[in-house]
A and B are shown apart, each in its own frame.
Chain A
Amino acid sequence: MPVSEYPSLLRSEEMSLVQLYVPIDVAHATVEELAELKRVQFKDLNPDVNPFQRTYVSQIRRCDEAERRLRFLTTQIASQDIALRPYEDTLALFAGRSGAQALEEIDQRLVESEQRVAAMNGSYESLEKRALELEEARQVLIETDVFFREASGRSDEIRTSFDDTSAPLLGDVEQAGRHGAEESGFGGLELEFVAGTIDRARMATFERVLWRVLRGNLYMNYAEIDDAALPVPSTEAGSQAGGEAKALRKNVFIIFAHGQELLDKIRKIAESMGATLFPIDSNADKREEKLREVTSRIEDLNSVLYNTNQTRRAELVKIADSITAWWTVVRREKVVYSTLNLWKWDQGRKTLLAEGWVPTRDIPVVQGALRQASENAGTSVSAILHQLPTHKDPPTFHRTNKVTEGFQAIIDAYGIGSYQEVNPGLFTVITFPFLFAVMFGDIGHGFIMMATALTLILIEKRFPKGMGSEIPDTFFFGRYIIFFMGLFAIFTGFIYNDIFSLSLHLAPGHWTWPTPANAGDVVEAVATKAYYPFGLDPAWHGADNALIFTNSMKMKMSVVMGVIHMSFAICLNVLNHLHFKKPELIWAEFLPQILFMESIFGYLIACIVYKWSVDWEAVGRNPPNLLNMLIKLFLSPGNVAPEDQLYPGQAGIQVFLLLLALVCVPWMLCTKPYLIWKEHQKVTEQGYHGIGSNGNGAISADDSDAEGAGHAVVAEEMDEEHEFDFGEHVIHQVIHTIEFCLGCISNTASYLRLWALSLAHAQLSEVLWSMTIEGAFEMEGAAGVAFLVAMFAMWMTLTICILIVMEGLSAFLHALRLHWVEFNGKFFVGAGVAFDPLTFDGCDEIPEGVL
């Protein structure tokens, strides 16, 4: 079937099933070229092979290993707050080389870098631990010094009190202990002690346990270590949530006791409670010396730490320079090998066999890519492309451009169109913004919306990959939709004569206001010969009964638009029936549907238009109520009271229309199943039992242009035998008929939301105006100016937030619903699968969660 000259959005592109014979040398390059092209969707030719048995599993494992190392290095780089050189700047790094060569090189460098960085991390950690220990020792030395000084200060007093009574007993001890004033501060008693540090949280428990075990035979003193003094090791700091630098809270303690046994017990308890013990000398000089030593060692250690950190940082900076390029190469290679795993290895001819879907229009482009691939690989053989005839359903592909892709996306969200059925996306480009605008009509709000979208459009080149975070991205992706929405909203704003809740008076209208006799008199406008040429007459603005008129007009407008929209949808079925070569369905399904719809609701809108066109004042009658007319059409057909008559001959016509609608129901119910049954009879009579269609994926041997390339078994399943179940078809048709008939009524009523939302928008707008700025206009003087400025700010903010954003989203949603349910429901099947071509998209970004 020849392909049309240009693509059209009316239907899915025509897709062909193609077969590729790929010599092994050129396979890698071929996949790379096709992925850049984004026009081929490969099928999995090894569906029953589990992932661990596929041909290229070792390569994929290699890629995974590389990815693991990259992840490690990237987190290290991020934790040091080093910036990564963006991918676009690193393109030159691997320019000339094929993916496989680049991967080799990267692998090596990754292994090296990982080892180096891991080693540096290890040594940094152990150095930090050492530094912590030394710092604790220093703190202990300082604090115990304080104790001894305090104690010796008091020891003089103690000694004087003991002097008289106990001199002989402690005489020799005094001798031994006479080394200076700061010596063993407790009356010369040589008490031993245990000193160390412990977590502040455990302090209380520690004290209690000691007290109980030693029965009070101890003296304990402790002091808190200043929070900032202890260096928190980076491993602990890193594990804190939110990166809050938590200090290690520790206390220094010193316990005095007498006797080796007690001291041993103390030591054991201390160790079991997680305290760190330090040997402290009782001699002050020795302590001072130790303090100096510890301090100098801490300084040394700090400089080593600093140097290690600098070296590590330098290494990471060097890696950060090219890591984004490495990520891209690794991810691309993974994509290539995953794709190669889908292909079949042909033992006999040493080639790989691939099958996939390609848009028929793009086959020459694909062939060009294959030739390019063989050039890249430097071989003379290139892959060969074969078109295969098939009866399988291809994926659906709509060729969109930057304007239409937004509209197609919102239709695809409802369902991907079946292959080659009419695409509602084509019409959505105009009807969606239009129905939005009917619910949103306001010149001012529409202008702001359009201007915002226009700005986004004008700066779109700056954001090739979207704007970053999700919500701005959503608005950015829909910029063309929003632009059209704004444009149509300006138009409907002129029709509703609403600009920021005020009315324009662009030309003479139909009404003039007479002067009232007194203030507060009710005054009725007087008609003139002129008619306001475009939209709602401005005389209605501010009138007491404005809503009565506009509600009636908007409701009728909604119904008229709705019925026309739905009739259009029903008519689209004809295009489908013609395309799928089922013209009998036009009179079996389409005709009863359209007759049913038009004989009731088409009649209704004809009456609406007719009633509008009659000058009831001139005729001199009260115009009949259309709603009652419709109800009476069903309840008492053929009886039209003279005062309710809209036009002569009404009774007869209404009976005819009602009967017509009634006939359509069994027509819809029975004809299609009858046709299906008749066709089935014809087929079985010809002796082909149970075969749904003629031929089952015949393998054709045409197109065998290339060198004996040929008849590898196509991995195409035979069509399943389809049991003919008439009952199923009947039930399906019953459901379809009921849904259509009831749907006609409910969907028509559903279009009244066009009125409801436009009323809500207009009222909100009016309330906002009258409650903010309007009051400010009546004030005078400087206070009035200030008040006006403040009120304007409030009015503008609320206009944007409530009337444009909130109401805009609301109207967007309702317009979308009208399209999805009321419009699509009349013709759209939506049982297709989206075309998902091989692509490298997303490979040049670092996966989420790593950074």
Chain B
Amino acid sequence: MAGGLIFLYFFIAAAVAAGGFFVVPKGENQVVTRTAIILAITCCWLMWAITYLAQLHPLIKPRRADLRPAHDELFF
């Protein structure tokens, strides 16, 4: 289902974040790197999810007046 993709990606993102969390070696930069990985994955997933969700059930359809009368169907 189209909407389920959001949950799927959420779990994938969580898994990648958790993996990243454990993969980072101990050292001076462990805290920064872990924080960076988790924050980056969170922010990116959030933005993608919002955009995807907003387009699942659109309230208006795109409209234009500059299409040529005879043109090939779209390729996909």
**Residues of chain A having any CB pair with chain B under 8 Å:** 5-10, 399, 401, 404, 426-427, 429-431, 434, 438, 491-492, 495, 507-508, 510-513, 515-527, 531-537, 539-540, 542-546, 548-549, 552-553, 556-557, 560-561, 564, 609, 612-618, 623
Contacts and interface: CB of A to CB of B under 8 A. Distances in A.
Contacts of A557: 47, 50-51, 54
Given A8-B31, A556-B54, A613-B56, A542 B64 contact: yes
A542 B67 CA distance: 10
B65 interface: yes
B22 interface: no
A429 B32 contact: yes
A532 to B, nearest CB: 7
A560 B40 contact: no
B23 interface: no
Given A430-B43, A515-B69, A518-B69, A545 B63 contact: yes
Contact of B48 (A534, A556, A560, A564): A534
Given A404-B32, A513-B67, A525 B55 contact: no
A516 B35 contact: no
Interface in B15-67: 26-32, 35-36, 39-40, 43-44, 46-48, 50-67
A10 B64 CA distance: 52
Given A430-B36, A564-B46, A520 B53 contact: no
Contacts of A546: 62
A535 B48 contact: yes
A537 B52 CA distance: 9
A546 B66 CA distance: 14
A539 to B, nearest CB: 5
Interface residues of B, number: 44
A515 B71 contact: yes
Contacts, number: 153
Given A515-B67, A531-B52, A616 B39 contact: no
Nearest to B52: A531
Contact of B62 (A519, A533, A549): A549
Interface of B: 2-3, 5, 26-32, 35-36, 39-40, 43-44, 46-48, 50-71, 73-74, 76
A321 B35 CA distance: 51
A520 B64 CA distance: 9
Q: Tell me what chain B mostly uses at the interface: helix, strand, loop, or mixed.
A: loop
Given A430-B40, A613-B3, A527 B48 contact: no
A615 B5 CA distance: 16
Nearest to A497: B51
A377 to B, nearest CB: 32
Given A515-B70, A561-B50, 13 more contacts: A7-B28, A429-B32, A491-B47, A512-B73, A519-B68, A532-B55, A543-B63, A543-B64, A546-B62, A549-B60, A557-B51, A560-B46, A614-B57
Contacts of B46: 560-561, 564
Nearest to A8: B31
A196 B70 CA distance: 99
15 contacts: A8-B31, A10-B31, A491-B44, A492-B47, A513-B67, A523-B63, A524-B61, A537-B62, A540-B62, A544-B63, A544-B65, A545-B60, A557-B51, A612-B53, A613-B53
Contacts of B50: 553, 556-557, 560-561
Given A426-B35, A430-B35, A543 B69 contact: no
A543 B58 CA distance: 15
B76 A623 contact: no
A542 B66 contact: yes
Given A404-B32, A492-B47, A515-B69, A539 B3 contact: no
A534 B48 CA distance: 7
Contacts of B26: 5-6
B21 to A, nearest CB: 14
A647 to B, nearest CB: 15
Contacts of A518: 69
Given A427-B39, A536-B55, A557-B47, A525 B32 contact: no
A533 B8 CA distance: 13
A5 B31 CA distance: 12
Nearest to A400: B32
B62 A431 contact: no
Contacts of B36: 429-430
Contacts of A623: 59
Query: 7 smallest A-B Cβ distances: which pairs?
Result: A543-B62, A430-B39, A8-B31, A508-B76, A615-B57, A553-B54, A525-B62
Nearest to B43: A434
A426 to B, nearest CB: 6
A6 B30 CA distance: 8
B6 to A, nearest CB: 9
A777 to B, nearest CB: 15
A134 B11 CA distance: 96
Interface centre among B43, B67, B68 (most CB of A within 10 A): B43
A526 B36 CA distance: 41
Given A510-B55, A513-B74, A519-B68, A527 B61 contact: yes
A524 to B, nearest CB: 5
B31 A426 contact: yes
Contacts of B29: 401
B69 A536 contact: no
B61 A511 contact: yes
A616 B59 contact: yes
A523 B52 CA distance: 24
A566 to B, nearest CB: 14
A540 B60 CA distance: 11
A122 B71 CA distance: 91
Contact of B35 (A7, A429, A491, A533): A429
B48 A495 contact: yes
Contacts of B59: 616, 623
A302 to B, nearest CB: 68
A507 B69 CA distance: 25
A537 B31 contact: no
Contacts of B71: 515
Nearest to B73: A512
Interface centre among A399, A523, A549, A612 (most CB of B within 10 A): A612
Nearest to B40: A430
B65 to A, nearest CB: 5
Contacts of A618: 57
Contacts of A531: 2, 5, 52, 55-56
B40 to A, nearest CB: 5
Contacts of B62: 511, 524-525, 537, 539-540, 543, 545-546, 549
Nearest to B41: A430
Contacts of A560: 46, 50
Nearest to A550: B54
Contacts of B61: 511, 524-527
B40 A609 contact: no
